[in-house]
Structure 1
Amino acid sequence: MLIKRLLRFAVTNVVLFTLAFSLTIIPSTFAKKPQTNLLNGLHTQNTKPSTTTPQQLVSQGEALYQSGRFTEAVNVLQQAVRIYQLEGDRLAQAAALTNLSLVYQQLGSWKEADATIDNSLNLLGWDEINQKLNVSHPKSELLEILAQTLNIQGELQLGQGQTDASIKTSQQAEQIWKKLGDNAGVTRSQINQAQALRVAGFYRRSLNILNEVSQQLISQPDSVVKITALRSLGNVLQQLGELESSQQILQQSLEIAQRLQLSPEISLTEFSLGNTARVLDNTKDAIAHYENAALTASNPLAKVQAQINQLSLLIENEQIGQAKTIIPKIQSQLATVPTTQAGIYARINFARTISKIGEPRNIAQILADSVQQAKTIGDERSQSYSLGSLAEVYEQNNQWQEAQDLTQQALLIAEKIDVSDIAYRWQWLLGRLLKAQGNTEGAIAAYDTAVATLQSLRTDLVTVNREVQFNFRDSVEPIYRQSVELLLQQKGRGKPDLNKVRQRIEALQLAELDNFFREACLSNQFVVLDKVVDRDHPNTAIFYPIILDNQLEVILKLPNQPLIHKTSVVNHQQVEQAIAQMRDTIVQPEANKKFQAVSQQLYDWLIKPVADELKKSGVSTLVFIPDGSLRNIPMSALYDGALYLVQKYAIAISPGLQLFTPKPLAQSRLNALAGGLSQPPKNEEFAPLPNVKVELKLIQQSGVSTTILLNENFKSTTLRKTINAQPFKVVHLATHGQFSSKAKDTFILAADKRIYVNELDSLLKSREQKRTQPVELLVLSACETAQGDNRAALGLAGVALRAGARSTLASLWQIGDDSTALFISQFYHQLITGKTTAEALREAQLKLLSSSQYIRPLYWAPYVLVGNWL
């Protein structure tokens, strides 16, 4: 069992641990010595033989293991090991030791598990066999036990975070199974490799293995291995965000398990189906699957975990009445849950779940019991988590000193055993407690440590489980924002460290993008635009607006001047409400006065405090690094009561990351690949874009050398082929698309398919294998942000980064074909005349604004420039 990895999920969120439970790839089975013909074990539990043989002890140990009675299983297996040792039966002794190691894993006794598995491998002569594996002298029975032992060692290594070692061990096991001609063993080892690759974040490699395994199993009869392979594939697909495929594959796994009437497998697969339905926001189906998982569970722990998932989902959806009916059922079963790592975490997760609606004394008692249970089995990881969770209960009751004592105990253990994924939570908690007690300097130090730990955990945070995406705003983002708030309160030397504040908020933006892509794929370097502005482009100012709980902060960088800091005292709910109102009213043709009022309010908070400094500096371009939902509104449409911001300045957006060295878009020999769809595919519910053909022709007429892919010629395959044909500086795509805060919902539409954001790097960057120059400018002229998603513009930043273009020009909402054609014509005309990209955008917007037909921001404001503005 992959205990440590499962617990890593628990660290992030109550939901995560229970979600992760279903991700165990192969249910661990006891190693068998072939000639002993051991019983299944389930038949021996109620039969007491007159003379207990070591074989019967192993069978009893297996039965105890399957029922979750791990401590008893240890005692029984230790007896079997001693008897085999006295009898001199090294093979049987090795098999019993391997099984004992498996039980130790369940108890969280990692040292004992490691020592026991090593002892087994020594008895089997693994070192010698490993050197001569191609030699035929080892007996097949020895090799079979050895392969089983390596399977379990691979799980043990993975459980301790040793992914590379786990992959290697599983590959060695696969080699032995192949030598034995055991296809089922080969399949098990391949699935274990896929699991290790998934945990390491190599989802695609994991998916490739599982796809291959599943293809091999299609023609094979129904079996546990087939059920498990399909379930594993479904879980990886869920991780990759391919949710419909995940659901389909998991349903196949469930149907086989039902035909074979295997309740444990039915339970695990129902659980996985519940997880996928949950990510799909299908609450009703998710609850039904969790209920089925609990009904068919083979042991109390699996049942309780399914019920906890159901409980957390009900609470999340504010179905408190129904949630309260489940709580007594879980409480009544907690006593039957074994005292193991997984059992302790089930109790902790239950306590954390009911803390939102429950009785604090009961929660504290459950957590205090968990601390003692963790001490009993010697599991320091779960002890740290129990102590920290208990500290949070004291925090809620304003018992600061008690909470701090418990937090420091939890943190000391976490740092001692080097579990950063737990440590950052207690560092954050310590910062909150110190702040509450007025120790600002101590709180800042604690937050600094928490942020540093988070940054060291980038890969782990984004590979634990896709569900972390909805939890990011609860367990990661607040650390950065609270830290910034503290830094701005710091009075040391008269002023806060504004550069550190900028770096901290940019680190948050980096973490958001990592979370969006589900991989730590971006260079962990803060953007240093100061040098660009001071040295090369002294006509540019950089805005860093930051939304905090009770204030809106603005840090302004003017050329060759110290950073300027202004504060507007307004709470984040008011800011968010104003942003939402501006976004809503800007697209309503008859709501111009309402729009101007709320736009002016945002102008007063963001721009007015520094308006005089901007005017004196003589800058002509403003580059915004917007925070949070500020990405969803066009800064060009901020209104001062008489003029829009675009009437004063050219405006661009930066995602805060220096991915390419800024340089002007070359004015000579400007060439473009222009693709578009005037008629979307029949299976897509998008309106026609009749003026796309006109739009693409206008690019040609502006003087840009243009290659056109229109309608049926605008396929993903054709686009990939054409973009590699020559080094296009501009890629212009006039087609429907959507930006979302989720990568799975961010795409552009081609004639043959949706091209999702995660495919853009392989599509548009594929030419980099042949050519060294990236795309200078990517234009997306008919896209829009997803409705009801207040962070949808994060998808625009994602597209800009994934495409690898120096600049991306896109629309935040869809507008009429006529105005788009006029805008595009003017934009390219200005580029040809030598304007910077930001200036060309401004001139095109002013062209529309000067027309009585298109004067409203509805028509000219949606266009935003992300990245290089030169």
Structure 2
Amino acid sequence: MKHKFLNKKIILPNFGLSSSRKIKIYGLFGLSIILTILLVTKDVPVVANQPNLLNSQSITQQPDNNLDLLQQGKNYYQKGQYTEAAKIWQQALKSYQNNKDSVSQVQVLNYLALAYKDLGKIPQAQTTITESLNLLKNWKTSDNQNHLLLAQALNTQGTIQLLQGQTETAIDTWKQATAIYERAGDNTGKLISQINQAQGLQNLGQYRRAKTLLEELVTASQSQPDNLLKAQSLRSLGVALQTIGDLKQSKTALEKSLAISKQLNSPKDVSAVVFSLGNIAQDLAEYDVAIGNYQEVVNLSPEIQEKLSAQLNQLSVLVKLERWEAVEALTPIIENNLAQLAASRPAIYARINFAETLMTIEEKIESGKASLTSNNPKIAELLATAIQQAREIKDSRSEAYALQELGKLYQDNSQLAEAKKLTQQAQNIAQEMNASDLLALTATQSGAIAKAQGDIDSAIAAYETAFNNIQSLRGDLVAISTDVQFDFKESIEPIYREYVGLLLEKGDNQKNLKQARQVIEALQIAELDNYFRDACVDNYPVNIDQIDVQAAVIYPIILSDRLEVILSIPKQPLHHYTTKLSKKQVENTLRHLYSYMSRGYIREESFRLSQRLYKWLIAPAEEKLNSNNVKTLVFVLDGLLRNLPMSALHDGDRYLIEKYNVALSPGLQLFPQGLQRKKLDVLAAGLTEARQGFSSLPAVTGEIKELTKEFPAKTLLNQDFTRDKLKKELDSQSFPIVHLATHGQFSSNPQETFLLTWSDRISILDFDRLFQKRRLGILEPVELLVMSACQTASGDNRATLGLAGLALRSGAKSTIASLWSVNDESTANLMKEFYQQLNNSQLSKAEALRQAQIKIMANPLYQHPYFWASFVLVGNWL
């Protein structure tokens, strides 16, 4: 969309200036540094609890009014009145300085630094904590008290470094504090600094490391009595679990934290947990619950920044729900609260967040969905102020985000020259910081602008930079940074697609085609990483010429304005062909064809659609396939194409499976070794009776019986088929073939992907545990995993990610599964034929499945693709 800005240029303040992403408000709650609990609790700070400090002569000699000042400051701080706390502590500091009480100076300087930090006065906070650390360095004594004071100061120093964008430095600082606390035997202080480390790891996007550390800390804290520190650690764990997509466990941790916080009557901590629960509700699409949670935070919290965080998230939900009266009522309240904030990173992010939400409202206005007054000038002003504030506090990271967002605003207004300058400034900052996440963002923006200007070479170079930086972040692509919330589908995936589209505009340039293939392969891995919320997919590039000289690989990719296909044939240059179609046209065809096939409809339209898809994907390659004696087609499919069996494509005379072996691959970088032709013992498990609301599968008995005629087999049927018994058998010996004849569902949501057993369900996470000995190399990997009665989730366009997910989690070299629920009897017949063919050592798995499908379709009762095409082979086809 285009932001019109009242049909004139944006006028910005002169502050030295020659993509739509939402700043993440996990906020000052979910990712706040909990060392402030030292001041928030009703107890005195940890350091003050040390006997040596309580009995130190320097403190006991102070007049009572100095101790009163220290406590008064803590009282103000607890209420969120940081300015008053700072004033009181400044008075106390002067008194300690006059009395040359260095111990108390160190302590009050630490408190003052925290107050300045919460006021957003980051330079003053840094100066203050540096003064505290310098005093400590000058001490010649090395008793326990001094070590603990140093650890506390280092915790504060790390907090300030984090707010300055120096996350790695902050983590190192907290590690120093942890070591000191550990040597001093202070478990509480150690826990604080370790939680800070975990939150720093979250800031770097390293959520798995953060989760592991937090889980260890929560386990260690279970034996401790309920206190606010325990509540904080549970909340931090909840946020980490939410970020990696484990919403159920996240909610459990947060609810435990909430119960402790309420029990201890801590409104600040209660509001913090309620805020996080609001974010969980958003992720679960429970929008009214989320709105209610955020409103509760507004009512509970005394702090403007915390109220604002909740209001910004509330506004975002209201816009999503198009509740315009509530939006109009809330907007001026947010503006007023923003005006009260001093310059700080949270304040800057709040402005960018607000600006981005207002840009979303502008889209609604232009599309006619909202009858509101345009906020265009206000958006520019918000971002300009954010840039100014970032420069004031010398926060380069915040400045880069604000500059890029302003560049996006100019681009949307078709002011490309200004957009290019702003984006380049942001990119320069990212390069200076060596920040891969920022480089990926800014380079993507530069590429989009260059493309809009018609400079394709510059656009390709920019997208190459973005791609390379995303690849370097692969381990944490789940959420590149806590500063910005990336939706993979909306923010990351389009970078791959735009890059491929630009590369393929150059025709059959081999360098570009090879790079495009690499990007498509990388997208396949990135999608699986995102599916698992973890970069757990092992990938090793494989040369197909060394695998199967009679196999061709077909890479279709759906772009916004065309369908592109790259063809890879051993010992031949890459080739590509294009069909000019909109994404909507392609996807409509795919949806209709899936509907006909999966429901068994016999209509002329289904054949027409099947032939159309054949024309797009196969016909342009037929001459090359024939001349190179290709026997097997391996598809690396994209988008909705994954939901369709390629074997059922029709050339007007025959189905594709009648001409070629057909296999699917998530990418040849994931290619495992082929079937080892030796004794093929089978572990077969299944259900024949109706269980947990699923229908009976009476033909499973015969299916498994026929299998045992071909191979030695251990069977688990009905009551014997439980998760625990399956694991016991899998752990007992190597089974080259595992056959599971039971209901199951593949979904784009890992939590909704499962296989049914007699009394429970096997999830993707269970697959990790079931096949753990094989993944660790204790037992040999499964050669072939067969899931004969599964189906993709209805209406789920990305459900086959669940199929690939189960296959990868099992570690199986090859997987056969069904894309839709198939007739029980025809499935049993097909499986019988498949295992008979597989017993022929001269046939590959792909050929064995092909022969079985051809045999089934020869039966007049089962001619329709519904009965045989659903079964697909994923992984190694040999």
Fold shared per TM-score above 0.5: yes
| Mapped partners of 1:824, 1:357: distance in 2 | 55
1:515 corresponding residue in structure 2: 530
| Mapped partners of 1:513, 1:347: distance in 2 | 34
**CA separation of 1:365/1:470 partners in 2, compared to 1, >3 Å: closer, same or farther?**
closer
Question: Letter of the aligned partner of 1:830 in structure 2?
Answer: Q
**CA separation of 1:604/1:812 partners in 2, compared to 1, >3 Å: closer, same or farther?**
same
Q: TM-score, normalised by structure 1?
A: 0.87
Q: Which moved more, 1:811-820 or 1:604-613?
A: 604-613
Q: Deviations over 1:89-143 (max 9, x none)?
A: 22112113323443565577878766754653454469999xx8xxxx534xx45
After TM superposition, list the pairs within 5 Å mapping 1:420-499 onto structure 2.
420-462=436-478, 471-490=487-506, 497-499=512-514
Question: Letter of the aligned partner of 1:244 in structure 2?
Answer: K
| Mapped partners of 1:521, 1:109: distance in 2 | 41
1:152 corresponding residue in structure 2: 156
Q: Deviations over 1:48-99 (max 9, x none)?
A: xx999697378548847964757x9778766755653453222112113323
Q: Secondary structure at the match of 1:673?
A: strand
| Mapped partners of 1:617, 1:36: distance in 2 | 80
| Mapped partners of 1:710, 1:196: distance in 2 | 49
| Preserved contact between residue 69 and residue 88 of structure 2 (Cα < 8 Å) | no
1:42 corresponding residue in structure 2: none
**CA separation of 1:240/1:471 partners in 2, compared to 1, >3 Å: closer, same or farther?**
closer
Shift of 1:176: 5.8
Answering whether residue 755 of structure 2 is matched by residue 745 of structure 1, we say no
Pick aligned residue for 2:566 from 555, 561, 568: 555
**CA separation of 1:361/1:468 partners in 2, compared to 1, >3 Å: closer, same or farther?**
closer
Q: CA RMSD in A?
A: 3.3
Q: Secondary structure at the match of 1:272?
A: helix
Question: Letter of the aligned partner of 1:516 in structure 2?
Answer: Y
2:544 corresponding residue in structure 1: 530
1:650 corresponding residue in structure 2: 661
Q: Secondary structure at the match of 1:794?
A: helix
| Mapped partners of 1:869, 1:466: distance in 2 | 41
Question: Letter of the aligned partner of 1:598 in structure 2?
Answer: L
2:266 corresponding residue in structure 1: 262
Q: Which moved more, 1:302-311 or 1:188-197?
A: 188-197
**CA separation of 1:687/1:241 partners in 2, compared to 1, >3 Å: closer, same or farther?**
farther
| Structure 2 gaps, min length 5 | 1-18, 40-44, 52-62, 363-374
Pick aligned residue for 1:415 from 413, 427, 431: 431
Q: Secondary structure at the match of 1:731?
A: strand
| Preserved contact between residue 727 and residue 770 of structure 2 (Cα < 8 Å) | yes
**CA separation of 1:363/1:463 partners in 2, compared to 1, >3 Å: closer, same or farther?**
closer
| Mapped partners of 2:343, 2:680: distance in 1 | 69
1:854 corresponding residue in structure 2: 862
Answering whether residue 684 of structure 2 is matched by residue 674 of structure 1, we say yes
Answering whether residue 521 of structure 2 is matched by residue 506 of structure 1, we say yes
| Mapped partners of 2:759, 2:200: distance in 1 | 35
Answering whether residue 740 of structure 2 is matched by residue 733 of structure 1, we say yes
Answering whether residue 855 of structure 2 is matched by residue 840 of structure 1, we say no
Shift of 1:256: 4.2
1:613 corresponding residue in structure 2: 624
After TM superposition, list the pairs within 5 Å mapping 1:315-334 onto structure 2.
315-334=319-338
Answering whether residue 127 of structure 2 is matched by residue 91 of structure 1, we say no
| Mapped partners of 1:343, 1:468: distance in 2 | 14
| Preserved contact between residue 473 and residue 480 of structure 2 (Cα < 8 Å) | no
| Mapped partners of 1:489, 1:866: distance in 2 | 31
Q: Secondary structure at the match of 1:669?
A: coil
Pick aligned residue for 1:831 from 833, 838, 847: 838
| Preserved contact between residue 830 and residue 853 of structure 2 (Cα < 8 Å) | yes
| Preserved contact between residue 37 and residue 228 of structure 2 (Cα < 8 Å) | no
Shift of 1:146: 4.0
Pick aligned residue for 2:583 from 572, 587, 593: 572
Answering whether residue 62 of structure 2 is matched by residue 56 of structure 1, we say no
**CA separation of 1:325/1:18 partners in 2, compared to 1, >3 Å: closer, same or farther?**
farther
Q: How many residues align?
A: 824
| Mapped partners of 1:469, 1:806: distance in 2 | 35
After TM superposition, list the pairs within 5 Å mapping 1:240-251 onto structure 2.
240-251=244-255
Q: Which moved more, 1:309-318 or 1:618-627?
A: 309-318
Answering whether residue 149 of structure 2 is matched by residue 138 of structure 1, we say no
Question: Letter of the aligned partner of 1:441 in structure 2?
Answer: D
| Preserved contact between residue 194 and residue 210 of structure 1 (Cα < 8 Å) | no
Q: Secondary structure at the match of 2:400?
A: helix
Question: Letter of the aligned partner of 2:399 in structure 1?
Answer: Q
2:368 corresponding residue in structure 1: none
Q: Which moved more, 1:850-859 or 1:653-662?
A: 653-662
**CA separation of 1:189/1:658 partners in 2, compared to 1, >3 Å: closer, same or farther?**
same
Shift of 1:815: 1.2
Shift of 1:780: 1.1
Q: Secondary structure at the match of 2:735?
A: coil
Q: Secondary structure at the match of 2:340?
A: coil
Q: Which moved more, 1:355-364 or 1:119-128?
A: 119-128
Shift of 1:250: 2.5
| Preserved contact between residue 857 and residue 864 of structure 2 (Cα < 8 Å) | yes
| Structure 1 gaps, min length 5 | 1-10, 38-49
Question: Letter of the aligned partner of 2:859 in structure 1?
Answer: S
Answering whether residue 298 of structure 2 is matched by residue 294 of structure 1, we say yes
| Mapped partners of 1:822, 1:469: distance in 2 | 49
Shift of 1:656: 0.7
**CA separation of 1:295/1:175 partners in 2, compared to 1, >3 Å: closer, same or farther?**
same
| Mapped partners of 2:128, 2:719: distance in 1 | 64
**CA separation of 1:641/1:14 partners in 2, compared to 1, >3 Å: closer, same or farther?**
same
After TM superposition, list the pairs within 5 Å mapping 1:728-807 onto structure 2.
728-769=735-776, 771=778, 773-807=780-814
| Preserved contact between residue 23 and residue 485 of structure 2 (Cα < 8 Å) | no
| Mapped partners of 1:20, 1:36: distance in 2 | 30
| Preserved contact between residue 634 and residue 862 of structure 1 (Cα < 8 Å) | yes
Shift of 1:699: 0.9
Q: TM-score, normalised by structure 2?
A: 0.86
| Preserved contact between residue 18 and residue 309 of structure 1 (Cα < 8 Å) | no
Question: Letter of the aligned partner of 1:311 in structure 2?
Answer: L
| Mapped partners of 1:641, 1:90: distance in 2 | 90
1:542 corresponding residue in structure 2: 553
Q: Which moved more, 1:144-153 or 1:111-120?
A: 111-120
Q: Which moved more, 1:370-379 or 1:113-122?
A: 113-122
| Mapped partners of 1:35, 1:528: distance in 2 | 61
Shift of 1:550: 0.5
Question: Letter of the aligned partner of 1:832 in structure 2?
Answer: N
| Mapped partners of 1:807, 1:649: distance in 2 | 18
**CA separation of 1:30/1:475 partners in 2, compared to 1, >3 Å: closer, same or farther?**
same
| Mapped partners of 2:874, 2:811: distance in 1 | 12
| Mapped partners of 1:337, 1:685: distance in 2 | 55
Answering whether residue 282 of structure 2 is matched by residue 278 of structure 1, we say yes
| Preserved contact between residue 561 and residue 581 of structure 2 (Cα < 8 Å) | yes
Question: Letter of the aligned partner of 1:744 in structure 2?
Answer: Q
Shift of 1:855: 1.1
Answering whether residue 414 of structure 2 is matched by residue 404 of structure 1, we say no
Question: Letter of the aligned partner of 1:759 in structure 2?
Answer: D
**CA separation of 1:68/1:790 partners in 2, compared to 1, >3 Å: closer, same or farther?**
farther
**CA separation of 1:397/1:12 partners in 2, compared to 1, >3 Å: closer, same or farther?**
closer
| Mapped partners of 1:189, 1:147: distance in 2 | 9
**CA separation of 1:466/1:196 partners in 2, compared to 1, >3 Å: closer, same or farther?**
closer
Shift of 1:462: 1.8
| Mapped partners of 1:62, 1:149: distance in 2 | 20
Q: Deviations over 1:417-438 (max 9, x none)?
A: 2332222111111111111111
Shift of 1:260: 4.5
Q: Deviations over 1:478-529 (max 9, x none)?
A: 11111111111236x967721111011111222111111111223455x434
Q: Deviations over 1:327-362 (max 9, x none)?
A: 222123211233211011101101011101142211
Q: Secondary structure at the match of 1:546?
A: strand
Shift of 1:828: 0.8
| Preserved contact between residue 699 and residue 825 of structure 1 (Cα < 8 Å) | yes
**CA separation of 1:769/1:404 partners in 2, compared to 1, >3 Å: closer, same or farther?**
closer
1:869 corresponding residue in structure 2: 877
Q: Which moved more, 1:264-273 or 1:200-209?
A: 200-209
